[in-house]
Structure 1
């Protein structure tokens, strides 16, 4: 088998600046990989992991260094040994899944022995901002049935949560600190979170401070994001968190994500699927994983100026990914 590899960087502006602890984003940058085998074309997209300096430039370099190996016909299992977890492996792995779906005239969910997909309830994310601004943004998402609040380390998080809850009294809520809390800050904010009915607190503490979770006895489930990159991080979180956020850019593709999900379940974790942003070509493979997850956070395209055609759709607070977008037996439109 001989493949033709194409890889390039794309930049897509966001609809407005997006704020989290320590970062402000104004555009989404991604590496797009195309693998051609005669009439069949597979596509994958990777954004990398910004806080690990896994950027589209470094990802493209990793891909080009393996061009000959890839074009000779690399398998997904070989890829796990050739590249570390990260955006480059994710883009290639997802392109391989998509290509196999085209070749075998089956959907990726069938290849992965997954149940037939259904629309998934997804969170809609609010950028960290003034409490009144976040409340206003929550009202501008009338279809959202689940809302995720980005929080920061300025001591106003209880105000933010109260404001959003007042604006959206019936919405399911979770909060994401992106490593921004101290143990004291979380302790001080927890009563407001409980009062507001927050369902999950995501990544309160910095990477490397997982011991801060010991003895915390939080009344709300804690989810690990930055602290869990791939399956090798799972065991250190047993007894410390209840939910594992799997992102394909972190773990390096759908192949690792599915294996990671199986192991995490065996260890007693609940599963969450998240995203680093991206277009519908990033949401498609994550959508496959989403059928295994109790929390789904796949809203990336909503914050970009422009998406793929065809694209995932959002209705009644849910995301739906038709086969024609990614991973189906019919060649997706460019």
Structure 2
């Protein structure tokens, strides 16, 4: 049976600006993919990320370059052979998972042999801002289980303190997005410990990771920009305690599942994250979340409008999409 592939740029406007150490955005620029085969349609989404030299045009061109193979019936295993990790492969891989589920009537989580999806606690992000404004946001989120606090190298302790005073109870992840030096990490980590920070995510630029070998970390460290695929993990295990698995980095759910298993073998703790995206990106990531100690999947909560029947978040608890939405 013939297939038809479509891929478009699908922007989502945000409720408020999303700011991290390397920039600010007011729109989530996603790639929306459909693979149609007969009456069944598989859908996938990805988010090109400039940190990895990805652009909307470049990702669409990557997808277009293998249109022939996809429409001729390429499966997920072959996709891994002909495309590198990244946003383009992620959108296609997730669309193929969804198509398989529609064709067979077997859900993705059943296919991989795990228990059914359950609601999970997700981090809710406090975007980088003045300490006063971050405190205002945190005060409204004081009853969620987990906060993620975006900081840079400009007095991060003041920012985290403002959040902790406004929200005494939630666990906290602090994310500098590669903006610190090893000297700053050494200087600030005791202050973060006093503020009861549970996890520090990617404090140093990825190219400076070697400086973490032998470093006496007071707070567990998670690799994000440093960890993309399973081949990275043996080295990461000498430098980090956790790895943040994102489908846009691994290039899809297929390789994300392999990375999850490999990380467990290496003794790394598990975290799953996302870009600012819609429920279509979050639905496959929720599968990984079932096995992760830290979950950061609040991307759709930033959107002015999400897909109908997608994930729902209430006070930091995320509920899976309605049946039939994806997978």
Q: TM-score range by the shorter chain?
A: over 0.9
Q: Does 1:74 align with 2:74?
A: yes
Partners of 1:49 and 1:111 in 2: how far apart?
A: 30
Deviation of residue 322 (structure 1)?
A: 2.9
> In the alignment, which residue of structure 2 is the partner of 1:261?
260
Q: Tell me: CA distance 1:190–1:142, structure 2 relative to 1, closer, same or farther (3 Å).
A: closer
> In the alignment, which residue of structure 2 is the partner of 1:17?
17
Listed as ranges, the gaps of 5+ residues in structure 2 are: none
- Counterpart secondary structure, 2:33: strand
**Residues matched between the structures, number:** 327
- Counterpart secondary structure, 1:208: helix
Q: Tell which deviates more after alignment, 116-125 or 138-147.
A: 138-147
- Counterpart secondary structure, 1:305: coil
Deviation of residue 325 (structure 1)?
A: 5.8
Equivalent runs, 1:112-191 vs 2, <5 Å: 112-154=112-154, 156-191=155-190
Partners of 1:290 and 1:49 in 2: how far apart?
A: 22
TM-score, length-normalised on structure 2? 0.97
Q: Please tell me whether the aligned partners of residues 142 and 168 of structure 2 are also in contact (alpha carbons under 8 angstroms).
A: no
Q: Please tell me whether the aligned partners of residues 242 and 269 of structure 1 are also in contact (alpha carbons under 8 angstroms).
A: yes
Q: Tell me: CA distance 1:270–1:326, structure 2 relative to 1, closer, same or farther (3 Å).
A: farther
Partners of 2:230 and 2:48 in 1: how far apart?
A: 17
> Which runs of 4 or more aligned residues in structure 1 lie more than 4 Å from their structure 2 counterparts after TM superposition?
none
- Counterpart secondary structure, 1:7: strand
RMSD, aligned CA: 1.2
Q: Please tell me whether the aligned partners of residues 311 and 325 of structure 1 are also in contact (alpha carbons under 8 angstroms).
A: no
> Deviations 1:40-60 (Å, cap 9, x if unpaired)?
111000102320121221110
- Counterpart secondary structure, 1:283: helix
Q: Please tell me whether the aligned partners of residues 224 and 244 of structure 2 are also in contact (alpha carbons under 8 angstroms).
A: yes
Equivalent runs, 1:213-292 vs 2, <5 Å: 213-292=212-291
> In the alignment, which residue of structure 2 is the partner of 1:49?
49
Q: Tell me: CA distance 1:50–1:145, structure 2 relative to 1, closer, same or farther (3 Å).
A: same
> In the alignment, which residue of structure 2 is the partner of 1:331?
none
- Counterpart secondary structure, 1:209: helix
- Counterpart secondary structure, 1:51: helix
Q: Please tell me whether the aligned partners of residues 285 and 326 of structure 1 are also in contact (alpha carbons under 8 angstroms).
A: no
Q: Tell me: CA distance 1:261–1:141, structure 2 relative to 1, closer, same or farther (3 Å).
A: same
